Amino acid sequence: TVHCPALDGMQRVSLRAAFVPAPGFVFLSADYSQLEARLLAHFSEDPALLEVLRRPDGDLFRLVAADIHGGIPEHEVTPVQRQHAKHLFYALLYGMGKRSLSELLMVSAQEAEQFQLRFLERHPAVEKLLKHVKQQCREHGYVETLTGRRRYLPAINSSDTSERAHAERQAINTVCQASAADLAKIAMNNIVFALH
């Protein structure tokens, strides 16, 4: 929302509306569904995550919500519980700490930590992957994306706890998020060639 005196007050302005295709052309909007979450399932080879992603009606975040709320049936998951699960899932991907997660979910730090622990208990392959990524980064000084792009993180072996923790978060984030960026760029190029 921006203030525009010419429009007499506050108006909603969409930046997308500023882009207009040339006559005879259209804009194409395409997206991957839950790409980073799918990559985490791929890299971890977690059986439960892979199984739900293979189902036509599978809802990854509904599954995670059921898990972190004591294994309730997926059909009993509320929209709020699903949203919490989504935040938790991406918090793990981005290396968010329990304090930040508790603020995001509007729960206590203890509850946020319990959500994290429950998720990792139900999905040990994910926890194994997170530890493996950090260990590999410590040994080599870098992590690689799905396409082999490297990100060097010299602070991974820092004696400063804060710097080291930041590098660990960047390592985990890079593996999934940068791999997602790689796939998106490949897809954009492929779409251009497919449409010609």
Q: Band of the pLDDT at 6, cuts 50, 70, 90?
A: low
Q: Band of the pLDDT at 8, cuts 50, 70, 90?
A: low
31 is catalytic: yes
The whole-angstrom separation of Cα 155 and Cα 147 is 23
Give the number of other Cβ atoms within 10 Å of residue 169's Cβ.
Answer: 17
Catalytic residue (one of 31, 57, 67, 182): 31
Q: What count of residues does the chain have?
A: 196
Longest dimension (CA), the chain: 60
What is the tens place of the pLDDT at every residue in 137-178? 999 999 999 999 999 999 999 999 999 999 998 999 899 899
The vertex-85 CA angle with 92 and 38, nearest 5°, equals 60
CB-based contact 77:62 (threshold 8 Å): yes
The whole-angstrom separation of Cα 128 and Cα 74 is 25
Give the number of other Cβ atoms within 10 Å of residue 182's Cβ.
Answer: 16
CB-based contact 184:35 (threshold 8 Å): yes
pTM here is 0.78
**Mean of pLDDT values over 8-27:** 80
